[in-house]
Structure 1
Amino acid sequence: MAKIDFDEAKSWVTSALSLHAHDLIKALASRYQVSSSTASATVKKLEQAGVIKRTGAVNRPIFEAASNITVMQSYSLPLGDAEQIWQRDFAPFLMQDLNENLRKLISSSFTAIANNASQHSQGNSMHVIAEQTADHIELTVQDNGIGVFKQISKTKQCADLAAAAALLERSNSAIKALAQKFDFFLIEANGMHYPEQAAPAVDTETEELFEQGTTVIMELTLS
């Protein structure tokens, strides 16, 4: 029996609402090739998760975006224009209530991280998750390259990966400057973290699309 990946549905519905506000259950059933009852149950879960809300008559609901928004996209590397990608795939659905300075920070940060993955990761794929609630906005960018600490180690001829991470900590790099602009910033690559104090206290099972590469997480508190 066909099933609906809930995380994927959260992203899909964000862009689908503009076309299917009046027939969301039918559109969801068609998209995932599931029954109307399965699609209806998923819509209820999306409502409970704060992703969508319904108005209108009980038998003719109209759906619209609520406070919790998720957008997921995957890209082949190298990328085209990262700023254009952000404006096309993410900006229309996120940051509607943010001031101009925060909009620019999020946009420029995505562009910087995406361009770095495109130009230096030596990978061929990148996955992006953007999440916004009433309280925070979070970006996660993953690539399947060699890992940023290995890349720094090769470029700077460091003794080992730990030395590469320490070099990033000491330097006045663009990454360090970027990290200081966020309430939470974390790079995971090659079994290491930057900044070190942001590393999880214990190993946890994190959902990663790639077995290798670099994951960058950036979070801003909005309230």
Structure 2
Amino acid sequence: MVKSQAKEIRAYLLKKIPVHPKNIVAKAAKAFACSRTTVHRHLSRLLRDGEIIKTGTTRQIIYFLKTEKNKKILIPLEPSLKEYEIWKENFSQDFESLPKNVQDICEYGFLKMLNNVINHSEGTGVIIKTKWSPESINISIQDDGVGIFHKIQKSLCIKDVREIALHLSKGKLTTDPENHFGESIFFASRFFDDFHIISSGISYIRKNLDEDWFVETTKYKNLPGTGLIMRIALGSTRTIQEVYADYQHKNSEGILKFDKTHITVMLSKLPEEGYVSRYQARRICLGLEKFKSVVLDFKNISTIGHGFVDEIFRVFQLKYPKTKITFTNTNDDVQFMINNSLSQE
């Protein structure tokens, strides 16, 4: 009898959650003459089984069926397409129950990345998917265009497509400087817990919880266009404002400007290389004159060469003294090479 009622309660919850997402606990407790604790126990079971999603806290809790939230739409890419209209007509309502900070991040990522597709992909269509779980939300955007890495490689005359992940990670990289600042990927990759680009057989991943980047070759070498996947936990406390604060400062007119970047030095090395040459250092330095402050992160790097250090800390700094370069996560060997170079200035 107890097992039978448990099944009945869970079946009732799955049927009525779409009708009563905010007060399903009270409705179920009344329908079965049971305690709220009993209803919460069955809701927890459905959450563990991945059949429902819970957003909000305490009195603001709202429940959804996972199948209600998951969406997939195909949109023809036309000059008149407006990213905000796609968001508003198809997705924005799904995100309204999320905490404001998570909602803002999802909206930013959706609008900025779709805008990039519309303006730069040269494709004919885009597939947008949302995939909800009890813990997180995934937003994926796949176009059939020329591919982000190929387009940047051609526009900036970069020899090896694998270098592009490094340049994207710096920020202020754009193939259309008259109309775009090159900020959207930089900030979106820091707003979300995971940010993933797949294009031209290259997979570029940032994991914010580990503060780490990964660049890998993939088996999808013939996949057209660009694939983007952005994931964030429903309970994330990260805010757009706090991330902006890490990379923006007010100029003389009191206007916030994007003038600081953080570079993972490990991204400058191709798999067959070591951190020794001036050429590798020039990859890092490319575009840094656009910033006032640069932090070089030497995480997971055991040693570097004299030419590598000299190119960054002497040659580049002599040419662009207004750009301040600092460093972090150096081991003793790397620290010695940098100190030795600085002492010879």
Shorter-chain TM-score: what band? 0.5 to 0.7
CA contact (8 A) 1:141 1:217 kept: yes
Aligned-pair distance for 1:198? 4.2
Residues 1:66 and 2:81 are matched in the alignment:
no
CA contact (8 A) 2:50 2:66 kept: no
Residues 1:186 and 2:196 are matched in the alignment:
yes
1:133 and 1:195 map into 2 onto residues whose CA distance is 21
CA contact (8 A) 1:128 1:140 kept: yes
1:170 and 1:88 map into 2 onto residues whose CA distance is 34
How do 1:87-166 residues align onto structure 2 when only pairs under 5 Å count?
A: 87-92=88-93, 94-166=94-166
1:110 and 1:161 map into 2 onto residues whose CA distance is 25
Which has the higher Rg, Structure 1 or Structure 2? 2
CA contact (8 A) 2:74 2:127 kept: yes
Determine the structure 2 residue equivalent to 1:44: none
Aligned-pair distance for 1:49? 5.9
2:81 and 2:157 map into 1 onto residues whose CA distance is 30
Determine the structure 2 residue equivalent to 1:83: 84
Deviations 1:24-77 (A, max 9, x none): xxxxxxxxxxxxxxxxxxxxxxxx86269xxxxxxxxxxx95245201111011
2:82 and 2:171 map into 1 onto residues whose CA distance is 28
- Does the C-alpha gap of structure 1 residues 152 and 203 become closer, same or farther in structure 2, counting only changes over 3 Å? closer
CA contact (8 A) 1:83 1:108 kept: no
Aligned-pair distance for 1:133? 2.6
Aligned-pair distance for 1:121? 0.7
Aligned-pair distance for 1:166? 2.5
Q: Kindly indicate whether structure 1 or structure 2 has the higher relative contact order, using CA contacts under 8 Å at least 6 residues apart.
A: 1
1:75 and 1:87 map into 2 onto residues whose CA distance is 14
1:129 and 1:51 map into 2 onto residues whose CA distance is 18
Determine the structure 2 residue equivalent to 1:39: none
Aligned-pair distance for 1:212? 0.8
**TM-score, length-scaled by structure 2:** 0.42
1:51 and 1:222 map into 2 onto residues whose CA distance is 13
CA contact (8 A) 1:185 1:198 kept: no
CA contact (8 A) 1:86 1:111 kept: yes
Determine the structure 2 residue equivalent to 1:42: none
Q: Secondary structure at the match of 1:97?
A: coil
Identical amino acids, percent of aligned pairs: 22
CA contact (8 A) 2:141 2:227 kept: yes
1:203 and 1:188 map into 2 onto residues whose CA distance is 8
CA contact (8 A) 2:201 2:218 kept: no
Cα RMSD for the two superposed structures: 2.8
1:156 and 1:96 map into 2 onto residues whose CA distance is 40
Query: How many equivalent residue pairs?
Result: 161
How do 1:201-216 residues align onto structure 2 when only pairs under 5 Å count?
A: 211-216=223-228
Deviations 1:135-159 (A, max 9, x none): 1011000000111001111221212
CA contact (8 A) 2:201 2:223 kept: no
Determine the structure 2 residue equivalent to 1:22: none
- Does the C-alpha gap of structure 1 residues 122 and 137 become closer, same or farther in structure 2, counting only changes over 3 Å? same
1:193 and 1:169 map into 2 onto residues whose CA distance is 13
**TM-score, length-scaled by structure 1:** 0.63
Structure 2 unaligned runs (5+)? 1-17, 20-48, 54-62, 173-181, 207-212, 236-345
- Does the C-alpha gap of structure 1 residues 198 and 162 become closer, same or farther in structure 2, counting only changes over 3 Å? closer
